[in-house]
Amino acid sequence: MKKIVGVFLILSTTTAFMLPQKKAAVSQPTLKAAIERGKTVYLQRCMACHQMDGGGVPRLNPPLDGASKVKGADKVYLIRTVIKGMTERVEIDGEYYDNNMSANADLTDVQIADVLTYIRNSWSNKASVVSAAEVKAARAKIK
Amino acid sequence: MKKRVLLSLMLIGATISFVAANDSTIATVKKEVADPVNAGLKIPGGFSASVVADNLGRARHIVATQQGGLYVKLERLKEGKGIVYLKDADGDGKMEISKTFANYYGTGIAIKNGYLYASSDQDVYRYKLDDKGEVIDAETPQRIVKGLWDKRQHASKSIALDDAGHIYVNIGAPSNSCQEVDRTKGSKGMYPCPILDSAGGIWQFKVDQTDQGYHNGIRYATGLRNVVGLDWNQQQNKLYVTMHGRDMLYTLYPEMFDTTVSAELPSETFYAINKGDDAGWPYVYYDHFQQKKIQSPEYGGDGKKAGGEKAIDPLVAFPGHMAPNALLFYTGNQFPEKYKQGAFIAFHGSWNRSPLPQEGYYVVFVPFKDGKPNGKWEVFADGFSGTGVVKNPRDAQHRPCGLTQGPDGSLYVSDDVKGTIYKISYSSK
């Protein structure tokens, strides 16, 4: 019984700790607005290759839906990919894709943050938001 | 205790009988699904279709032997092998894997004068065939061409052979429209496009020389972005090709093109090629609505301005992005008269029409007379995708990619999603 209480205490502490954290990071309406704006960018810049459903095109353009890197913690990698594009032969979740990816350095920090937030929170994806400040910091390091 | 055991036994029994009943139901359903009418294809009256082989891997181009065997080139190695040789040893109408060989993946495969020719994304090899149409030495082919550009994009090398000892190899341009930064908004087109020195065309090599490189070859035709379908027309003694047109007019130039126009344009083009021809890529693209070559926006075009005065015009212009992956002139006697000397084209199916529905995923027929089309093209075999409308390419269950004609005049179609080989035959009865 003591053990159970202990676990409960840990759980509730974690939950209590996590909840305000999440709220502080981004409120639901703000997230929704970012996703909406991100979708507009997605339709103009990404949709042609990665498709409406984020499924990509077999062997040409990798899927964003369910992709480990897209959902992953390395946001700098994602920001860099949007800004610089991709021309190397890299394995993505066990598959290779032939097409070069556009460079999108002309997008603003907010646009890149929004489109990444949209991609990370669409279809089956559920991952943390990308902020304009994170894009700004990452962009400063990209040559 | 006794009660409990009894109950458990009853439960187990019930479960078993339930599973058994379920299994037989599944088995019946499976059988019906596995063998649909005409392999699920929609074909003209009098024709029939069947699946002769399945699950081969990414089956790209295919070629039939005079003895009825079939060589299949794979785009990805399967159990370490890149070519599958099929034959119907027991005569049941299905083909079995007789042999797998070649440690390279690729697209191109062809047979000419007792040799099998096959390509990786950099090289071309040939194997001597015996009188059964079977490879004599699968382990040590002669490498006749080496070191062609393989820069990921459009890297597959399709091949065709003439009667004068030449092989024609497509070297696709590793680029969409020769921009300084590929596929990137605001990036200018390079002029002259430096890619054209080494790619974006068809190169001619000799069939019997070992390790020829660019310096041994002749740039036979240029201005061809990416040709995946090509065939040597015996009757005309001429090369014919189908080209994949450029992508992303809307994405790169939203101020000039909307998503509807960008889905339809540019045309996918079908050319007759003479030595020295230039089809105009990247400076122009073809527009089948305006019926002319239009200056590419990367080179000062606005969607209306004509260009490419010296570039050749296509014989046929198809709707955009459908991806013509194989071309075959029909020389058999089995199909009705109208098909003789006409062209079959396998369309792999589009991806660049999003957000509109995708198009293609079928085999088209173009009637020909004296080396020129003499009627409208029509869809010959449809239904490969297994779904009504393809919204996203990954939804297609099969995608036509290769074509070959069997010794009896039947048409074979390969699919590179599941590795299915279809046989389409005609019977007047």
- Mark which residues 45-84 of B lie under 8 Å from A by CB: 75
| Residue A78 CB contacts under 8 Å (≥ 6 apart), including other chains | A69, A70, A116, A130
What kind and span of H or E run contains A9? helix A2-25
Segment B50-93, tens digit of pLDDT? 999 999 999 999 999 999 999 999 999 999 999 999 999 999 99
Query: For residue B177, is pLDDT > 50?
Result: yes
Query: For residue A104, is pLDDT > 60?
Result: yes
Domain range enclosing A53:
26-141
Find the mean pLDDT for residues B228-235.
Answer: 97
In chain B, the domains with their CATH numbers are 42-426 (2.120.10.30)
Q: Which of B153, B187, B392 sits opposite A55 (nearest CB)?
A: B392
- Residue A1 falls within a domain, yes or no? no
| pLDDT at residue B36, rounded to an integer | 73
| pLDDT at residue B17, rounded to an integer | 37
The residue of chain B with its CA nearest to that of A45 is B251
CATH code, A75: 1.10.760.10
If pLDDT is split at 50, 70 and 90, which confidence band does A77 have?
very high
- Residue A120 falls within a domain, yes or no? yes
Q: Say what percent of chain B tops pLDDT 90.
A: 90
Rounded (5°) CA angle B185-B188-B190? 140
Query: Residue B77 and residue B171: Cα distance in Å, rounded?
Result: 21
Q: Say what percent of chain A tops pLDDT 90.
A: 75
Phi (first) and psi of residue B130, to 5 degrees? -90, -175
Which chain B residues have a beta carbon less than 8 Å from that of A89? 152
Query: For residue A24, is pLDDT > 90?
Result: no
| pLDDT at residue A29, rounded to an integer | 82
Find the mean pLDDT for residues A54-69.
Answer: 96
If pLDDT is split at 50, 70 and 90, which confidence band does A142 have?
confident
- Residue A56 falls within a domain, yes or no? yes
Q: Are B102 and B81 in contact (CB under 8 A)?
A: yes
Segment B285-298, tens digit of pLDDT? 999 999 999 999 99
> Can you tell me whether residue A142 is helix, strand or coil?
coil
| pLDDT at residue A25, rounded to an integer | 59
If pLDDT is split at 50, 70 and 90, which confidence band does B429 have?
low
Q: Please tell me the least confidently modeled range out of A3-12, B221-230, B233-242, B329-338.
A: A3-12
The distance from CA B427 to its chain's CA centroid, rounded to whole angstroms, is: 26
- Residue A15 falls within a domain, yes or no? no
Query: For residue A37, is pLDDT > 70?
Result: yes
For A17, A23, A26, the CA distances from A20, given in Å and listed in that order, are 6, 5, 10
Q: Is B182 on the interface with A (CB under 8 A)?
A: yes
| pLDDT at residue B3, rounded to an integer | 47
The better pLDDT of the pair A136, B7 is held by A136
Find the mean pLDDT for residues A79-108.
Answer: 94
- Residue A5 falls within a domain, yes or no? no
Query: For residue A8, is pLDDT > 60?
Result: no
Which chain A residues have a beta carbon less than 8 Å from that of B258? none
Omega cis (within 30) before B192: yes
Segment B238-270, tens digit of pLDDT? 999 999 999 999 999 999 999 999 999 999 999
Q: Which of A52, A98, A101 sits opposite B155 (nearest CB)?
A: A98
Q: Which sign does the torsion angle of CA B296, B300, B304, B305 carry?
A: negative
The distance from CA A89 to its chain's CA centroid, rounded to whole angstroms, is: 22
Strands B70-78 and B59-64: antiparallel
Query: Residue B403 and residue B422: Cα distance in Å, rounded?
Result: 10
- Residue A101 falls within a domain, yes or no? yes
Q: Is B340 on the interface with A (CB under 8 A)?
A: no
Q: Chain A residues with CB-CB distance to B under 8 A?
A: 43-45, 47-49, 51-53, 55-61, 63, 85, 87, 89, 98-104, 106
- Residue A37 falls within a domain, yes or no? yes
Q: Mutate one of B121, B154, B178, B183 to test the A interface: name it (highest A CB count within 10 A).
A: B183
Residues forming beta bridges with residue B188, ordered by sequence position: none
How large is the C-alpha radius of gyration of chain A? 18
| pLDDT at residue B428, rounded to an integer | 74
Find the mean pLDDT for residues B170-181.
Answer: 98
The residue of chain B with its CA nearest to that of A103 is B184
If pLDDT is split at 50, 70 and 90, which confidence band does A10 have?
very low
The residue of chain A with its CA nearest to that of B399 is A58
Q: What is the DSSP letter of A91?
A: E
The better pLDDT of the pair A39, A143 is held by A39
If pLDDT is split at 50, 70 and 90, which confidence band does B35 have?
low
Q: Say what percent of chain A tops pLDDT 70.
A: 82
Segment B391-410, tens digit of pLDDT? 999 999 999 999 999 999 99
Please count the structural domains in chain A: 1
Residue B100 token pair: 């797998």
Find the mean pLDDT for residues B205-211.
Answer: 98
Q: Say what percent of chain B tops pLDDT 70.
A: 92
- Residue A70 falls within a domain, yes or no? yes
For B205, B216, B230, the CA distances from B171, given in Å and listed in that order, are 12, 15, 12
